[in-house]
Amino acid sequence: MEVTNKFIAIKATIDGEPQECDFELKVEPFSLAVKPGSKDVIIKNIYVSIDPYQLNRMKSVSSSKKTSKFAPRIAPGEVIGAYGVGKVVASGNPEFEKDDYVVGIISWGEYSISQGFMGCWLSKLDPMGFPLSYHVGLLGFSGLTAYAGFFEICKPKKGEKVFVSAASGSVGNLVSQYAKNLGCYVVGSAGSPYKVKLLKEKFGFDGAFNYKEETDLDSTLEKYFPEGIDIYFDNVGGVMLEAAISNMNSYGRVALCGVISEYTDVGKRAAPNMLNVVYKRIMIQGFLGGDYMHLFPEFVSTTVDHIRAGKMHVLEDISIGLESVPSAFVGLFRGYNVGKKIVRVSNDLEDC
């Protein structure tokens, strides 16, 4: 059976701040039947993840395309692969059956076909009684990134002083919750008074500040960390990274998860004081969540325990309809999202 598939594509490569007009909605014929003898899995998409890293795939030149199999180039006009949850329509792969829920790389569209795309990262999903959207963020790739980055890279100890930037964002809020559950002192930065209030009142941060209102980030961090920072979980790079390095303690650890402030403006690239790094023996490490897939079962089991014990809260921000993908994506770079940004592309409420 053939249907039409609507999907979102870029019109041309994007090298600055993305705008909604950089995207277009395309419609193409799409077969719901599996080609005879193929192992294709045809998926009806339900929820798709909206992630900052996609911008690096849309640039004319970016290191992400050369070094990460998770971030291949996005060509103008083509389907954009993205993390998400869907339902199997037809399968030539014996591991999947019609009506199975699946999680992994699908696309910013109504339907996806999984045929070895980006390493064929697709798994059968047991929702475990949670809403399907949880498996896009909290129990999905953002969660794994937060878990692996915090526990594997930062190697935290109870009582340590932890600073998290973009702390009300998808990865940031989860890192902060893991840190609080471990018994760390946690301070976060975010870009609005509403977000700061949320971090302090809902998530019980020891401190939070609106970085847009601060004129001297070095002094701000000194005020919140009079005894210095042991761990900095960096989501933003730029001047915040420089200020954090100035306030790190000896043997401090910096997990470089992302540098969103630099994605739209290379002129904002961080130049931390490297003498501090040397004399304080600071460890700075970049990492990719996708390198820690082996931790997925451990991460899910720990996180589910926290959720069921009421020790972890979900913070998600869901837009409705495929047409909202461009505005949802552009909004990440303007701080419009609060928590995990997701778009529900299916109208079938029974699946949501």
The residue range among 19-27, 28-36, 103-111, 332-340 that interacts with ligand NAP, by the rule CB under 6 A, is: 332-340
Of 166, 245, 300, 322, the residue at the interface with ligand NAP (CB under 6 A) is: 166
Q: Which of residues 23-82 bind ligand NAP (CB under 6 A)?
A: 51-53
Neighbours of 316 (CB within 10 A): 20
Q: Does 288 bind ligand NAP (CB under 6 A)?
A: yes
Token pair belonging to 44:
């009806």
Residues in the chain: 352
- At its nearest, how many Å lie between ligand NAP and the CB of residue 11? 22
Q: How far apart are CA 173 and CA 154, in angstroms?
A: 16
Residue type at position 136: V
* Residue whose CB is less far from ligand NAP, 221 or 332: 332
Q: Which of residues 168-187 bind ligand NAP (CB under 6 A)?
A: 168-172
* Residue whose CB is less far from ligand NAP, 5 or 235: 235
Q: Does 205 bind ligand NAP (CB under 6 A)?
A: no
Cα distances (Å, whole numbers) of residue 236 to 58, 65, 184, 232, 268: 19, 20, 21, 11, 10
Q: Cα 39 from chain centroid?
A: 29
- At its nearest, how many Å lie between ligand NAP and the CB of residue 334? 7
The residue range among 10-18, 87-95, 120-128, 330-338 that interacts with ligand NAP, by the rule CB under 6 A, is: 330-338
- Three-state DSSP class for residue 102: strand
Site string for ligand NAP, 214-253 (x = CB under 6 A): ---------------------xx-----------------
Site string for ligand NAP, 145-164 (x = CB under 6 A): x-------------------
- At its nearest, how many Å lie between ligand NAP and the CB of residue 100? 26
Neighbours of 315 (CB within 10 A): 21
* Residue whose CB is less far from ligand NAP, 80 or 171: 171
- At its nearest, how many Å lie between ligand NAP and the CB of residue 318? 13
The residue range among 14-22, 24-32, 105-113, 286-294 that interacts with ligand NAP, by the rule CB under 6 A, is: 286-294
Neighbours of 308 (CB within 10 A): 12
Q: Is 228 left (phi over 0), alpha (psi -120 to 50) or beta?
A: left
Token pair belonging to 337:
């999202």
Token pair belonging to 192:
């609005």
The residue range among 122-130, 156-164, 191-199, 277-285 that interacts with ligand NAP, by the rule CB under 6 A, is: 191-199
Of 86, 312, 333, 344, the residue at the interface with ligand NAP (CB under 6 A) is: 333
Q: How many residues bind ligand NAP (CB under 6 A)?
A: 30
Q: Does 327 bind ligand NAP (CB under 6 A)?
A: no
Q: Does 258 bind ligand NAP (CB under 6 A)?
A: yes
Q: How far apart are CA 212 and CA 214, in angstroms?
A: 6
Q: How far apart are CA 66 and CA 73, in angstroms?
A: 9
With beta carbons less than 8 A apart as the criterion, state whether 332 and 338 touch. no
Q: How far apart are CA 341 and CA 131, in angstroms?
A: 15
Of 133, 261, 303, 319, the residue at the interface with ligand NAP (CB under 6 A) is: 261
| DSSP H helical ranges for 235-336 | 238-246, 260-263, 274-279, 296-308, 325-332
Q: Point out which residues bind ligand NAP (CB under 6 A).
A: 51-53, 142, 145, 166, 168-172, 190-192, 195, 235-236, 257-261, 287-289, 332-333, 335, 337, 341
